[in-house]
Chain A
Amino acid sequence: MQAFEYVAAESLGEAISLLDKHGNQARILSGGTDLIVQVRENRRQVDLLVDIKKIPEFNEIFYNGSLQIGASVPCYQVYGNEDVQRLFPALVDSTSIIGGVQIQSRASIGGNLCNASPAADSIPALIALGASCVIQGPNGDRKVAVEEFCTGPGQTALSSNELLVKLVLPKPANNSSSFYLRFIPRNEMDIAVVGVGASVELSSDHKTFVSARIALGAVAATPLFAEEASNILAGQPVSEESIQTACSAAQDVARPISDMRGSAEQRKHLVGVLTKRALNGAISRIKETA
């Protein structure tokens, strides 16, 4: 493993000034379950790891009209949080299948986002839930929608002296719910061949779609917000037909590649299957809680 220095930053300010000083050669260390392996396997060059787990605000998760998730909050605290379970089920779906439970003890949702894997499980769920990132740099903070955050495989909107502080998820509307699922060859411990997150808002009689957000993973260089597929549903009756139209629209925006985990045609096909299952999953959750 390549040699590097390690600093456990004690404040946000210290973390930022370290990033500002070392630029691209510094990386933020949170759960480390991706980063440590990447550095070990020489897939990423670093001189300095800045550990932010000891900074309190990075570990906070709470709901006060919107859900605030500190960048270092590990998966198990996300799916273990009662407000998350009540209001953001897609987040439970996705964070409980990232690696095994040992990974979930450390892997953070912020790290999953900053690692910017096209197949990351939490990102389609976050996009479906309309989450935004709070980013801090030497010149203050800014907000970026999650669907804008990833710019390519392993690439993000962060500049070298910025870091992700927290994620903010707006309060879901009434008669709404969300769902995330992925397809993998095994039942656990795999990278998504395709992942689909969906949030749905229905009319009070559950007969009509008021709105929906559909997001796709592992079918492009970054997780995708399937905007058209989402908009199609607004005002449509809750029926197989309208769901099928949305599925086809989702398939249209998918631009998958073929690799050892799946072929392009297989992924295109699965986008249709999983979008349908994600929408139906969200719908039945609305009906259950009603």
Chain B
Amino acid sequence: MSRKVHVQTQINGDSIEFLCEPRQSMLEVLRDDLDLTGAKEGCNNGNCGACTIMVEGRPVNSCCMLGVEAEGSNIETIEGVASPEGLHPLQQKFLEHAALQCGICTPGFIMNAKALLESNPNPTEKEVRFWLAGNLCRCTGYDKIVRAVLDAADNGEDDL
């Protein structure tokens, strides 16, 4: 066990300080130290996307990032996506399209889809599928997830 490091960062708009060992992943810090358990551990090596968070506006596998690397950065997790006014359009569309079954992959999909729509407000089906390829879902067969994301996109149309 090596000494803990003090880290100051922004999470969902709040300034957060925490102590962590250098070997702790950002995912571990979020889940075990900050009790932000919305990000899930599915594989712990960057192949399932269940732990996806946003760092400086980019989607990141929090299992492949160290907690200490969060120093001075701006982080968004699934817990910060809904606002007091209500659900984010992606969250709403996931519900309307029944785009989740067990739901364990859902936070990761929503975070990564959010990143997609912020960089490409009106993606094609192919673009959605390519962008979300780093997120595994074993329940839905992806069909309804892809439709939900397309529906949440700017045009609001399920353009298939």
| Chain A residues within 8 Å of B, Cβ to Cβ | 1-6, 8, 29, 32-33, 36-37, 39-41, 49, 51, 53, 76, 99-103, 105-106, 187-189
Contacts and interface: CB of A to CB of B under 8 A. Distances in A.
A29 B65 CA distance: 10
Interface stretch (B47-55, B87-95, B142-150, B151-159): B47-55
B2 interface: yes
Nearest to A47: B2
A49 B2 CA distance: 13
Q: Chain B CB within 10 Å — which of A4, A8, A76, A103 has the most?
A: A103
B133 A100 contact: yes
A41 to B, nearest CB: 7
A105 B118 CA distance: 14
B81 interface: no
Contact of B45 (A2, A5, A41): A41
Interface string B77-110: 0000000000000000000000000000000000
Nearest to A103: B46
22 contacts: A1-B23, A2-B23, A4-B23, A6-B66, A36-B65, A37-B46, A40-B25, A40-B44, A40-B45, A41-B45, A101-B59, A101-B112, A102-B52, A102-B59, A102-B61, A102-B112, A103-B61, A103-B64, A106-B60, A188-B133, A188-B134, A189-B134
Nearest to A96: B130
A3 B69 contact: no
Interface residues of B, number: 33
Interface in B19-56: 21-25, 44-47, 49, 52, 55
A102 B44 contact: no
B101 to A, nearest CB: 21
A99 B46 contact: yes
Nearest to A35: B64
B59 A105 contact: yes
B58 A4 contact: no
Given A99-B134, A102-B49, A36 B64 contact: yes
Nearest to B136: A189
A105 B45 contact: no
B68 interface: yes
Overall SS of chain B's interface: mixed
Q: Chain B CB within 10 Å — which of A5, A105, A189 has the most?
A: A105
A37 B59 contact: no
B115 interface: yes
The 7 A-B residue pairs with the shortest CB-CB distance in the complex, in nearest-first order: A100-B134, A6-B22, A188-B133, A105-B58, A3-B2, A1-B23, A102-B61
A102 B131 CA distance: 9
A6 B71 CA distance: 12
Contacts of A36: 25, 64-66
Contact of A101 (B2, B47, B68, B134): B134
Nearest to A3: B2
Given A3-B2, A99-B46, A103-B61, A189 B23 contact: no
Contacts of A101: 59, 112, 115-116, 131, 134
Contacts of B122: none
A141 B26 CA distance: 34
Contact of A33 (B61, B112, B133): B61
Q: Chain B CB within 10 Å — which of A32, A99, A106, A187 has the most?
A: A106
A37 B131 contact: no
Given A8-B71, A100-B49, 4 more contacts: A32-B65, A76-B58, A103-B46, A103-B64
B139 interface: no
B64 A106 contact: yes
Contacts of B134: 99-103, 188-189
A276 to B, nearest CB: 25
A105 B60 contact: yes
